[in-house]
Amino acid sequence: MTPADPPQTHLAVLHGGDLPPGHRRLDTHPRLAPVRYATADRLGEVLPGAHALFVWDLFSEALEAAWPKADSLRWVHAATAGVDNLMFDGLVGSDVVVTNSRGVFDEPISEYVLGLVIAFAKDLPATLGHQRRREWRHRETERVGGRHALVVGTGPIGRAIARKLRAAGLTVEGAGRTARPDDPDFGAVVEASLDTAGPGLADALPRADYVVLAAPLTDATRDLADAAFLARMRPTARLINVGRGQSVDEGALVAALNAGELAGAALDVARTEPLPAESPLWDAPGLIVSPHMSGDVIGWRSELVELFADNLERFLANRPLRNVVDKQRGYVSGP
């Protein structure tokens, strides 16, 4: 190395056993020192001296335990939209910048939610059950057009969901951090709280045929859909959660479904993942369970790597990074 050569950046990659697609281009990058790869149990061995960390092990909480070893860290990039697994005190209180993969999952998740709405309205789960039993059972189904949806979470994923549902003929309103009467995607936005003095969930929930949770996990959204929340919903309404499992009181949801107080629900996320075989969610009436897959379409891993690669070039060139997380709020603020 000559004095004119730029210093090399040390990059660590936390993975769960499968390396990111195209990782070899990281290994041969002229501005990177040899990339250090580690699973959760070895993360502490590769963090010393690392300037950047790519969290490819999507929901790992290993960084908190290894944090004392992060003596040179300046940037952490998460291959997820949610970063609640990284919002521990040490990282939040540090100068380390956190970025996420906002934008990769918006359209796939919105398509998934629309598919669930149609599945509920057209009673597709029952049709498949009758088919398996070789039963020819005629029924009448519901219209999708003209129904009303409440989307809790007004970030990019929530906005994509709102646009998709409106295109299918539903009316939509949003619930977010602040209420506003005129929003280009939601129309009206109420405050995502049952206790607010202004327009809030207490008013909006009884209007909704579909309540879609698409918010990041924060102190405000943890256990948001509790018994009081569910009691405000119509008995004919359905709850769809594509946000975080910790936003739903699963015991209260099972009780409401068993009592016929809700027409149905769909959970793409759970408080414990994988969902244990003994969980009562599996057998709850009217409940569709999917294994945290609503945003995972063919090619999604490559899209995540492309976003990281773009941010890596920005980091190496000291240019502004994409998707910088507001660590106090736990998500990317602004457009």
Written as six digits, the tokens of 10 are 């040390």
Determine the pLDDT at residue 230.
98
Q: Could you confirm whether 148 is annotated as catalytic?
A: no
Q: Where in the chain is the domain with CATH 3.40.50.720?
A: 11-104+298-332, 106-289
Going by the DSSP 8-state scheme, the letter that residue 294 receives in this structure is: T
232 is catalytic: no
Task: Tell me which of 61, 273, 313, 319 is the catalytic residue.
Answer: 273
* Model pLDDT, residue 1: 45
Pairing of strands 238-241, 187-191: unpaired
Strand-pair partners of 212: 151, 240
Instruction: Specify the pTM.
Output: 0.94
pLDDT (0 to 100) of residue 176: 96
Radius of gyration of the chain (CA): 22
Q: What share of the chain is helix, strand, coil (3-state, %, to 5)?
A: 30, 20, 50
Looking at domain 11-104+298-332, its CATH architecture is 3-Layer(aba) Sandwich (3.40)
Decide: helix, strand or coil at residue 111.
Answer: helix
pLDDT of the residue at 288: 98
pLDDT value at residue 272: 97
Strands 187-191 and 180-183: antiparallel
292 a catalytic residue: yes
Fold of 106-289: Rossmann fold (3.40.50)
Q: What is the mean pLDDT of each run of 10 residues along the chain (335 residues)?
A: 68 97 94 97 98 97 98 98 96 98 98 98 98 98 98 97 98 96 96 92 98 96 97 98 98 98 98 98 98 98 97 98 97 82
Amino acid at 267: L
Burial class (CB in 10 A: 0-12, 13-18, 19+), 89: exposed
* pLDDT attached to residue 6: 62
The values of phi and psi at residue 221, to 5°, are -105, -10
Other beta carbons within 10 angstroms of residue 1's beta carbon come to: 7
Closest of 240, 267, 222 to residue 151, by C-alpha? 240
Catalytic residue among 15, 102, 147, 244: 244
Residue pair 291/274 in contact by the 8 Å Cβ criterion: yes
Question: What are the phi and psi torsion angles at 203 (to 5°)?
Answer: -85, -35
